[in-house]
Amino acid sequence: MDALRAAAPLARRLLTLAEAGREGEVTIVRRARRARLRLVAGRAVALSGVDVAPLGDTLLALGSLDVGALRAMCTLRAPGPVGARMVAAGLLSSAAVAHALDLQLVRGIDALLALSPCVAQFTESTRDLARTTSGSVDVTSAVWSVLLRRAHALPDATLASLSGAGPLVLGATGRRRVQALLCAIERGELAKVARLAACDGGAARPVHAPTSHVLARAIEGADDTREQRAIRAVLRVLGGVTVVRKPDEAFALLLRKRRELARNVSASALLDLPESAGAEHARRALRRLAHKLHPDRFQCDARLHAVSTEVMSALSRAAHALREGVRATR
C-alpha cells in the first residue's frame, strides 16, 4: 500500500476531531510506540512521542539562533519550558520561538501519520490546554499538507488511478471535508502550513497550498494537472466522494436505446430479450441495463442525464409490461 492510503485512516480520525472542534488528547499506539497529540478547538498545541528535532536544533536550522546563544541557553537555570526561558533571557523573540514550535508541530503530524496503521483513542479534557505551549497549528491544514505532499510523491500511474477521471460527487462527509479545507484556505492557515513544510530540508518536493479555484476545478474534473489529481486523490482516500464515470460503452448503449424508443420496438426488444422471455428474465435485464444507464452515471452532463432518465423510465415500463403479460397467461 502507498504512503497516502496508509495514512488515510488516522488522517480521517484527526480531521473528524478537528472539524468538530473537540478538545482533549489523541493517543496513538503502534506496537511499542505511543504518541500523544493535544487538540484545542481544531488546533494542535502539543505533540509528544514522535521523532522531531529538539527546539534548539530547529532554531539553529531556521537561522534564529547562533551557537553562542545556544551555549548561553544551556546555562539558564530558570524553571519552565526552554522557549520561555530563552525569551525571558532576551536570547530570542517570542515570535521566533512560536515559529519554531509551529514547525515542530507540522513535522510531528507528518511523523504521526507515518505511524499508520495504528490504534487512535481520543480522551476529552477540560484542562486549559491552550496554555501548555505558544505553538499552535490548524490540524485540518497540517493533515492536508502532509497528504498532498504524499500524493505528489506518488508515481504518475498510481496518482492517476487514485484520482480517477470525471467529476467528483460529494456526499455528506465529502462536503464537510471540503468546507473545512475551504475555511483553512480562506483564513490563510493552509498557506502558513505549506510555508512551514517548505522549511523542512527533508521535504523532497515542497507543495504550495491550493487556492479555492483550483480545489473547485479539481472537484469538477475540468482540468488534468498534477496538482488537481493530487487533490482528487486525497479527497477520495479521505472518503465521502465518488467519481462519475463516463464510459464510452454506456454512451453507445444509451444512444441505441433512445433510437429503439423512437422506433417503438417491443418491450422484450427494448430489454434485449427474446419474445419468449419470462418475468425473471425481465427483472435481470432491467438490473443489468440500469447498472450501465442509471441517471447517476450521467450527472456530469444535463442533456445526457435527461436522456438517461427517459430511457430508464421506458425500460422500467417495459419490464413491468413483460411481468404483467406473464401473469396474464397463467
Instruction: Using DSSP, state whether 23 is helix, strand or coil.
Output: coil
* Nearest CA among 115, 111, 109 for reference residue 39: 109
Cell numbers for 178, please give them. Answer: 471540503
pLDDT for res 200 = 61
Residue 153 has pLDDT above 80, yes or no: yes
Express as a percent the part of the chain with pLDDT over 90. 46
Task: Please report the pLDDT score of residue 37 as a whole number.
Answer: 94
Alpha-carbon span 27 to 282, nearest angstrom: 55
Q: Which of 98-102, 137-141, 157-161, 199-203 has the lowest mean pLDDT?
A: 199-203
* DSSP code of residue 27: E
> Element (H or E) spanning 88, and its range?
helix 82-88
User: Which one, of 94, 61, 114, 102, lies nearest residue 193 by Cα?
Assistant: 102
Contact 190, 145 (CB under 8 A): yes
Residue 31 banded pLDDT, cuts 50, 70, 90: confident
Using CA atoms, how far apart are residues 18 and 181, in angstroms rounded to an integer? 11
Question: Where are the domain boundaries for CATH 1.10.287.110 in the chain?
Answer: 248-329
Domain 248-329 fold is: Helix Hairpins (1.10.287)
Which residue from 300, 301, 308 is spatially nearest to 164, judged by alpha carbons?
300
What are 138's three cell numbers? Answer: 490548524
Mean pLDDT to the nearest integer, 169-178: 91
* Most confident region among 73-77, 92-96, 147-151, 283-287 by mean pLDDT: 147-151
Name the pTM for this structure: 0.70
19 pLDDT tier (thresholds 50, 70, 90): very high
CA distance 265 to 281: 18
Pairwise CA distance, residues 40 & 18, whole Å: 8
Nine-digit cell at 173? 462527509
CA distance 140 to 209: 13
pLDDT at 73: 65
Q: Inform me whether the pLDDT recorded for 133 exceeds 50.
A: no
Picking from 76-80, 193-197, 213-217, 306-310, which range would have the lowest pLDDT averaged per residue?
A: 76-80
- Three-state DSSP at 296 gives helix
Tell me the angle at which helices 3-19 and 94-113 cross, rounded to the nearest 10 degrees: 120
Asked if pLDDT for residue 142 goes beyond 90, the answer is: yes
20 in the Ramachandran plot: left (φ > 0), alpha (ψ -120 to 50) or beta? alpha
Q: Are 106 and 12 in contact (CB under 8 A)?
A: no
Helix (H, G, I), strand (E, B) or coil at 200: coil
pLDDT in tens, 61-119: 887 777 676 666 666 665 556 666 676 666 778 888 888 889 999 999 999 999 988 99
pLDDT digits (tens, 9 = 90+) for 105-125: 999 999 999 998 899 999 998
Kindly indicate the confidence band of residue 18, based on its pLDDT and cuts at 50, 70 and 90. very high
- Look over the chain and give the mean of its residue pLDDT values, rounded to a whole number: 84
- Position with higher pLDDT, 78 vs 208: 208
